């Protein structure tokens, strides 16, 4: 066996060890920052600029996603702060909901709702795509989210299948606002960013661009992917794919309806000013058909009025009434607000607890609380519905209220079912068929504006021009 081959093996082994050590260090820092509130369950995603963990909210037993953002300095810090600021202002049923932000000097931990269905791209069968009825429902949900962002003066700038997640009911939600920015009407943006396969012609030409218009083009690419199973602009090289984009040259299968082809061609108009707005897209005949069998969930995700039953439940968990509601009303996205929103979700949608809860460990001491396996309430016998919320035991202290992290040897804890949230049935639209998972697009290249891209990027490459 050659020396070079042995050195290659040793180098590979060292690389694996370094990667494992980095993951352990990240997990350890996550546990330290969120100790007593969240239990890390493992890494679920590795993005260009962040890592995403799956965790469990200890007091409610609800699974959440935790995005770890390294602040860095200069431009990196500015990007992180911009993403946090944008996410705090978003409230839409098809945008992944922010729950809590925990900041340390060098890191921001962004706690969001867990999307159990994974990425949209994992459910799109290659070669054939989704049925039109399936695509219509999901695309309409994504378009409504992008339209909401535009109405708030926010351009996403990285709309793609990997940034659309599905919840357990099969509803689509837009995520990852790392490249998003605020814009004013008529303002041209200059930063070239996003994923090359979804780039509009003006980005390939390195021209100042209109934020909403490039999002519309990306939506057109996404719709073709959903309907055909592949992105429209491909080639053996970046230059070949670029030429296809600049000529708007793509193929649609003959079996697609005239309405679907009409919407695609409108969104993939070469001239940005002639592309439709999101309002026009949502009013297009293809989307206004009677294809959505279940209505979208209600738009009010962040409650405008205090819910007494939830406040009393949180009082039993050790939170002050005024402290809790001020946190929610002011949009502080702290521990109290996260707990309130998770309980609110359980009450209104029945989507909180994922299964039998366990005895948790906080501060090195086992909590004397056992969230017992819970029984489903009976719901309406007919129609599309979500499970009714189960009655579950909450902490009750025989003296002053304390949080789970404040437990001492004194006092006596007991489990006591103190509240039961009746649930209003809500329609769900599950994905009728789940196809084999498909790996997400890959690499990241960072180049300076004005410099040639050598070698030419692959179609799935994400670019960020400084």
Residue 102, H or E segment: strand 98-103
- Residue 5 tokens read as 């081959």
- Residue 38 tokens read as 């969240």
Answer yes or no: is 51 a known binding residue: no
- Residue 163 tokens read as 């940034």
Compute the radius of gyration of the chain from its Cα atoms: 24
Query: Do you find a cis peptide bond into 455, omega within 30 degrees of 0?
Result: yes
Backbone angles phi, psi at 460, to 5 degrees: -90, 5
Strands of 47-106 (E only): list them.
Answer: 50-57, 63-70, 98-103
Q: Are 138 and 146 in contact (CB under 8 A)?
A: no
Count CB atoms within 10 A of the CB of residue 392. 23
316 catalytic per annotation: no
Count CB atoms within 10 A of the CB of residue 55. 24
Task: Please tell me the distance from the alpha carbon of residue 125 to that of residue 108, in angstroms, as a whole number.
Answer: 36
Question: How far is residue 433 CA from its own chain's centroid?
Answer: 22
Task: Please tell me the distance from the alpha carbon of residue 261 to that of residue 207, in angstroms, as a whole number.
Answer: 28
Which residues are within 8 A (CB) of 208 and not within 5 positions of it... i.e. 6 or more apart? 188, 189, 190, 202
Task: Please tell me the distance from the alpha carbon of residue 174 to that of residue 97, in angstroms, as a whole number.
Answer: 10
First-to-last C-alpha distance (Å) of the chain: 46
Catalytic residue among 85, 133, 158, 307: 158
Going 286 to 289 to 291 to 296, the CA torsion angle's sign is positive
Which residues are within 8 A (CB) of 320 and not within 5 positions of it... i.e. 6 or more apart? none
Task: Please tell me the distance from the alpha carbon of residue 218 to that of residue 268, in angstroms, as a whole number.
Answer: 9
Binding site per annotation, positions: 67
Q: Which residues are documented as binding site for ATP?
A: 67
Question: Which are the catalytic amino acids?
Answer: 158
């Amino acid at each position: 066996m050659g020396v070079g081959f042995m050195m290659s093996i040793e180098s590979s082994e060292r690389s694996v060890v370094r990667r494992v050590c980095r993951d352990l260090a990240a997990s350890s820092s996550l546990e330290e920052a969120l100790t007593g509130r969240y239990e890390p369950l493992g890494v679920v995603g590795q993005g260009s600029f962040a890592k995403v963990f799956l965790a469990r909210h200890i007091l409610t037993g609800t699974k959440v996603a935790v995005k770890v953002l390294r602040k860095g300095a200069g431009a990196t810090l500015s990007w992180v702060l911009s993403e946090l600021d944008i996410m705090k202002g978003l409230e839409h049923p098809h945008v992944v909901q922010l729950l809590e932000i925990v900041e340390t000097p060098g890191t921001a931990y962004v706690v969001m709702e867990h999307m159990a269905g994974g990425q949209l791209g994992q459910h799109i069968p290659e070669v054939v795509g989704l049925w039109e009825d399936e695509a219509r429902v999901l695309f309409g949900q994504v378009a409504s989210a992008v339209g909401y962002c535009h109405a708030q003066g926010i351009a996403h700038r990285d709309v793609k299948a990997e940034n659309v997640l599905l919840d357990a009911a099969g509803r689509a939600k837009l995520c990852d606002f790392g490249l998003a920015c605020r814009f004013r009407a008529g303002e041209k943006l200059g930063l070239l960013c996003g994923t090359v396969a979804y780039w509009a012609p003006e980005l390939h030409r390195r021209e100042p661009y209109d934020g909403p218009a490039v999002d519309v083009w990306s939506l057109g690419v996404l719709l073709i992917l959903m309907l055909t199973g592949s992105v429209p602009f491909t080639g053996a090289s970046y230059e070949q794919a670029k030429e296809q984009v600049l000529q708007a040259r793509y193929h649609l299968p003959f079996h697609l309806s005239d309405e679907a082809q009409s919407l695609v061609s409108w969104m993939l108009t070469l001239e940005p000013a002639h592309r439709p707005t999101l309002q026009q897209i949502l009013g297009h005949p293809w989307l206004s058909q009677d294809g959505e069998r279940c209505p979208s969930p209600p738009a009010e995700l962040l409650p405008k009025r205090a819910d007494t039953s939830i406040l009393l439940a949180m009082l039993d968990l050790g939170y002050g009434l005024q402290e809790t509601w001020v946190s929610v009303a002011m949009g502080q996205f702290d521990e109290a607000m996260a707990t309130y929103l998770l309980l609110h979700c359980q009450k209104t949608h029945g989507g909180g607890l994922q299964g039998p809860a366990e005895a948790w460990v906080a501060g090195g001491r086992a909590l004397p609380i056992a969230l017992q396996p819970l029984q489903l309430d009976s719901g309406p016998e007919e129609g599309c519905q979500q499970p009714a919320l189960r009655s579950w035991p909450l902490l009750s202290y025989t003296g002053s209220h304390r949080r789970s992290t404040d437990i001492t040897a004194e006092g006596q804890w007991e489990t006591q079912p103190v509240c039961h949230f009746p649930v209003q049935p809500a329609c769900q639209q599950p994905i009728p068929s789940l196809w084999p998972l498909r790996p997400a697009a890959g690499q990241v290249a960072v180049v300076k504006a004005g410099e040639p891209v050598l070698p030419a990027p692959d179609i799935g490459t994400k670019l960020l021009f400084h």
